[in-house]
Structure 1
Amino acid sequence: MRYDLAVIGGGLAGTATAYYAARAGARVVLLERHDVNLGASGSNAGSIHAQIPFDPFRRLGADWARHYSEVLPLFIESIGLWGRLQDELGGDLGFVAKGGLMVAGTEAEMDMLREKSAIERAQGLQVDLWDQGDLSERAPFLTEGFPGGAFCPIEGKADPFRVAPLFLRRAREAGAKLLRNAPVKAIDVEAGGFAIAAGDRTVHASRVVNAAGAQAAEVAALLGVTVPLDAHPIQVSVTEKRPPLLSWLLYFTSEKLTLKQAPEGGFLIGGGWPARMRGGPVVDHRSVLRNLALAQRLVPGLADVQIVRSWAAIVNGTKDWRPILGEVPQVPGFFLNLFPWMGFTAGPAVSRAIASLALGERPDVDLAPFAP
C-alpha cells in the first residue's frame, strides 16, 4: 500500500499533522521510534507563550527580535486554535489562557521590556506595560520592589500529557495508521514518492513530513539534507499541591524562569534550566535548587514549598530561535515541521498548515518566511 503521507515523529507536531491530513481525507501513516508523546511534547512544562523570550533578546538584541518577531502571528493564530481544540477534539486539554506576566528585575530590564513590547505590538500582539504600582495592585503575591513588567493576556498553559494522545486518537479515528517502535533507518526516493525503512518494515508514501523533534536533523540527513538543529537537555520540576495563588504564566527577566500553578495545585517550575546527559537527559539537582530559589525569590509564598518530582527532556533549538517549516527545495515532497523551543504553543496551527502544504493545498497561515 502506498500512503499519501508519512509523518515521522509521535509528538505534538507529528500527531497533529497526522490528524489534520487524515481529517482532510489523506491516507496517513505515523512513524514513531518508541511510543507517542515520550519526547519534549510530553515532557515540557505546558507553557503557552506569545511574548518574545527575554534571555535571547538580552543577548542578541533588538535587530534579532525584529527578525524573530515574524513568528508572533503564528503564536497568535495557534493560541486562538488552542481555544477551540477542546471542542474540536472532544476532550480536556487543560488549556487555560489567563495571561502571562514578565516581571522586570531591574529598571534597566524594564527599559528593555519597553523596547521589546514595541516590537511585539508591531506584529499585532497585545502587551500591556505595568509599573510598580500595577504589580502591587494586580500581583500582590510577588516580592515587593520590582519596577514593573509586561503582561500579555493571551498566554497561559495546557497539559502536555493529554494533547498529543488526543490528537492521535482522533487521527486514528479518521483513518491514520500508527507504527510504534518503528525508528526510521533509511529514506529512499522512488517513483511516485519515498520508500521508508521503519523498524522491520518498509513504508511507501507519496510525501513525507519530518516532525521528529530533537532527532529531526538525523532523519533529514538520511536524504542528504542538512538541518541546522541543536539538541538541548533541559528540565522541569513540580511542587506539592498548594491553595490557588497564581493564575498566570509568570516569567522573570533577570534569570530564566517560567512559573505557573496547575489546576490540581502544584507549581510547575521551568524556564530552560540545563539537565545533564548520561546516555539520555537526566535531572541536574544543581539546576533544581537554583530554579526553585529563583521562584521563591519572585513569589515569597513558595518559601517552604517542597519539590515532589523533576524530569528532563531533550528539546530542539536553532541558533536564531526561528522555526524551519515547509518543503525542502532539493527533495520535493519532503517537508519539515520543526519549531524550536516554543513548539508546544505553535504546534496546532503550524501542523495544520504543514498538513495543507503536504497535501498540495494552500495553508491558512504564511509559512514562507520560515522555508528551509
Structure 2
Amino acid sequence: MRWHDLAVIGGGLAGVATAYFAARAGADVVLLERRDLNLGASGSNAGSIHAQIPFDPYREMGEGWARHFSETIPLFRASIARWRTLEAELGGSLGVAIKGGVMAAGTEADLRALERKVEIERAAGLPVEMWDRETLRARAPFLSDTLLGAAWCAEEGKADPFRAVPLIARRAVEAGLDVRRNAPVAAVEQVAGGWRVAGPWGAVHARKVVNAAGADAAHVAALAGVRLPIEGHLIQVAVTEKRAEELPFLLYFTGARLTLKQAAEGGYLIGGGWPARAGPLPMVDQTSMIRNLAVAQAMLPSLAGAQVVRAWAATVNGTADWRPILGEVPGRPGFFLNLFPWMGFTAAPAVSEAIAALALGQTPQVDLSPFAWPGEGA
C-alpha cells in the first residue's frame, strides 16, 4: 500500500499552492478535488490583492474587531511579496500588477472612521496614507468629485484568477504532484501511521492531510471529527467591455460594497461581495448586479454606458469574524487547516507555503500561530 507524505483536499488556489510548495520541497503529494481545478472561488473571484482592513465589517463590528483582524496584515504583506516573486519562479504570467489601492470616502463620518482605521493599520505595520479631497482630485481626477478623501496603500493590486491555479498546478505536477480530479471526499479517518482519505473513487493513505476545501471545508473537517465555524457565501463579479486605460489602482468605497479595477486588456472587473442567488450552481442576482454597477458608476463616472460582457457567481468561504483558521488541529495530529475567508486569494501564496512547511515538519517563514483553531467551544 502506497503512503503519500501529504494529501491535500481542495483544488483551488490554497490547495494547489500548498501542494506545489510541498512537492517542490521533495514531498510525495496527492491532491484531491471533487470536480476540476479552479472551478470554485479561486477561479471566480475578481482577482483583487488586498492589504487594507475591509471597511464593511469594520463599520459593523468596530475598532476592537479591526485591531484583532489587523493580525492578518503581516500575512497579507508577506503574501503580496510572494505574489511579486512567483511569476519569475514559475516561469509564466499570473497577471500580477501591484499599483496600489484607494479606499475612498463619501461622507465626513466615513472619512473620520477611515482615519481611525488607518491608525490601526499603521500600528500593524501597513504603510497607508490619508489623502484629503484636494490630493484625491489631483491624483485621481477621473473619480467622482463628490468624494471627500481616501486612504492609499501602495502594496495592493490585482492578479489573474484564471491564470494562477493552472500555472501553479502545472509546475506542481512537474515536481511530482499526483492530481485526482472528480474525487469527492466521503471519509477522512485517522489510522495507524497517518490518515486514510476515501470516496467513491477509492482511497489514499497519507501521513499528513491539509484541508483546503474552501466553502466545503466544514464538511471535510466534520469527516475528521472537527466542527468548524465556516460556511459558504454566494457572491458575484461582472466584467465590462474594453475601455481606454484610466483606472490604474484597486478602488474601494466606504459607502457601499465595491472593488473596482481595470484589467490590462481594458475591461473593468466589478465586485465587492454582492450576494448571488442559490441554485443547482451559484447564479447571478440581477438586483445585486444593478446595485453593484450603480455604485461603480457613481465612483467612476466614465463607466456610464459601458456594456457588461459577462458576469458569474461563486461560493466563497466565510467566518463571522473574518479571521483565517490555519495550522494543525489540536487532538488531530497530522490534520491541517488552510482556510482563509473572504480574502484567501490574496493570502494564498505565503499562507500555503507556510502550511506546507508545517505539514513537512519545517519552520515556516510566517507565523500562523495566532490563527490556530482553538477547538470547539473555545
TM-score w.r.t. length of structure 2? 0.98
Residues 106-255 of structure 1 mapped to structure 2, 5 A cutoff: 106-255=107-256
Structure 2, unpaired ranges of 5+: 374-378
The secondary structure found in structure 2 opposite 1:233 is strand
- Partner residue of 1:51? 52
- Partner residue of 2:260? 259
Residues 1-372 of structure 1 mapped to structure 2, 5 A cutoff: 1-372=2-373
| Displacement of 1:280 | 2.4
| Displacement of 1:198 | 3.2
Q: Distance in 1 between matches of 2:85 and 2:72?
A: 21
| Displacement of 1:188 | 1.2
| Displacement of 1:282 | 0.3
CA deviation map 1:254-284 (0-9, x unaligned): 0000000001110000000000001221000
Q: Distance in 1 between matches of 2:92 and 2:113?
A: 40
Contact 1:31–1:198 (8 Å) recurs in 2: no
Contact 1:181–1:199 (8 Å) recurs in 2: no
| Displacement of 1:145 | 2.6
What is the root-mean-square deviation of aligned Cα atoms in Å? 0.6
CA deviation map 1:190-247 (0-9, x unaligned): 1100111134211010000000000000000001100110210000000010000101
Contact 1:30–1:178 (8 Å) recurs in 2: yes
Structure 1, unpaired ranges of 5+: none
Aligned AA for 1:264? Answer: E
The secondary structure found in structure 2 opposite 1:240 is strand
The secondary structure found in structure 2 opposite 1:276 is coil
Aligned AA for 2:340? Answer: F
CA deviation map 1:124-147 (0-9, x unaligned): 101010000011100001111311
Q: Distance in 2 between matches of 1:147 and 1:350?
A: 36
| Displacement of 1:330 | 1.5
The secondary structure found in structure 1 opposite 2:78 is helix
The secondary structure found in structure 2 opposite 1:121 is helix
| Displacement of 1:189 | 1.1
The secondary structure found in structure 1 opposite 2:111 is helix
Q: Distance in 1 between matches of 2:226 and 2:28?
A: 25
Aligned AA for 2:337? Answer: L
Percent of counterpart pairs with the same letter?
65
The secondary structure found in structure 2 opposite 1:175 is coil
| Displacement of 1:165 | 1.0
Contact 1:356–1:362 (8 Å) recurs in 2: yes
Q: Distance in 1 between matches of 2:200 and 2:269?
A: 36
Number of residue pairs matched?
Answer: 372
Q: Distance in 2 between matches of 1:331 and 1:119?
A: 35
TM-score w.r.t. length of structure 1? 0.99
Q: Distance in 2 between matches of 1:152 and 1:11?
A: 27
| Displacement of 1:62 | 0.2
Q: Distance in 1 between matches of 2:228 and 2:331?
A: 13
Q: Distance in 2 between matches of 1:262 and 1:64?
A: 33
Q: Distance in 1 between matches of 2:203 and 2:271?
A: 40
Q: Distance in 2 between matches of 1:86 and 1:234?
A: 28
Aligned AA for 1:112? Answer: A
Q: Distance in 1 between matches of 2:245 and 2:31?
A: 40
Aligned AA for 1:196? Answer: V
Q: Distance in 2 between matches of 1:278 and 1:21?
A: 36
The secondary structure found in structure 1 opposite 2:242 is coil
| Displacement of 1:250 | 0.2
Report the more deviating stretch, 301-310 or 44-53: 301-310
CA deviation map 1:88-126 (0-9, x unaligned): 011100000000000001011000110000000011101
Contact 1:29–1:176 (8 Å) recurs in 2: yes
Q: Distance in 2 between matches of 1:143 and 1:327?
A: 47
CA deviation map 1:66-89 (0-9, x unaligned): 000000000000000100000001
Q: Distance in 2 between matches of 1:134 and 1:180?
A: 51
Report the more deviating stretch, 191-200 or 100-109: 191-200
| Displacement of 1:65 | 0.2
Q: Distance in 1 between matches of 2:144 and 2:209?
A: 50
Q: Distance in 2 between matches of 1:138 and 1:49?
A: 20
Q: Distance in 1 between matches of 2:141 and 2:200?
A: 55
